[in-house]
Amino acid sequence: MSTDLQLRHYDADQAQRIVDDLVALYLAVYPDGGEFHGEDRYRRQLGGHMQASGWDLVTATTKGELIGYAYGFPLSAQTRWWAGIQQPVPAGFTEENGLRTFALSELLVHPAWQHRSIGRALHDELVNNRAEDRSTLLADPDNLVAQAAYRSWGWQKIARLQPSWNGAPLYDVLVRPDRS
């Protein structure tokens, strides 16, 4: 990992100033992402997520250049996060109250900076020491590198989920307990 790596937290209001940079990095990570990973859909997703209470962004920069970020938010009682989950799941698994589950929505590192532990640093800064009981994320089942990293960081696959968005892929639902 670069010794001049800087990690910084942003709330939604502070992050408004860097939305274009966040989108540009997303597009660099998914250059051939098609409609699902396109700019318009991602801007809508990001804008919607930024309205969630408790939304938190951690950026990684080196020499002033944005090279990665991770963001997430606590799931509210009215969350649509679990829509499309495939059964069976443990009883009560999808019940939320705003304090139970932190959703890690994005974890991105510029391709030129990958495999340098920056993703791990972003992950740990965002999800370690959360007040919620657990964290969740949706992972591409075919991304074996990410799947291996998540397993090594304490995540476990619970189910599969296909969001209701047009053209959405099927994801693995991963969960990690945050408090004992």
DSSP codes, 96-122 = --SSSEEEEEEEEE-GGG-SSSHHHHH
pLDDT for residue 179: 55
Tokens of 76: 């509210």
Radius of gyration in angstroms for the set of CA atoms belonging to the chain, rounded to a whole number: 16
pLDDT for residue 127: 96
Q: Considering the entire predicted model, what is its pTM?
A: 0.93
pLDDT for residue 173: 97
pLDDT for residue 164: 81
Contacts 24+ apart (CB under 8 A), 27-30: 28/110, 28/111, 29/108, 29/109, 29/110, 29/111
> What are the sequence ranges of the domains in the chain?
5-177
pLDDT for residue 180: 44
Please report, in angstroms and rounded to a whole number, the separation of the first and last CA atoms in the chain: 30
- Ranges of residues in the chain with a pLDDT under 50 are 180
Task: Provide the residue type at 37 as one letter.
Answer: H
Q: What kind of fold does domain 5-177 have according to CATH? A: Aminopeptidase (3.40.630)
pLDDT for residue 168: 80
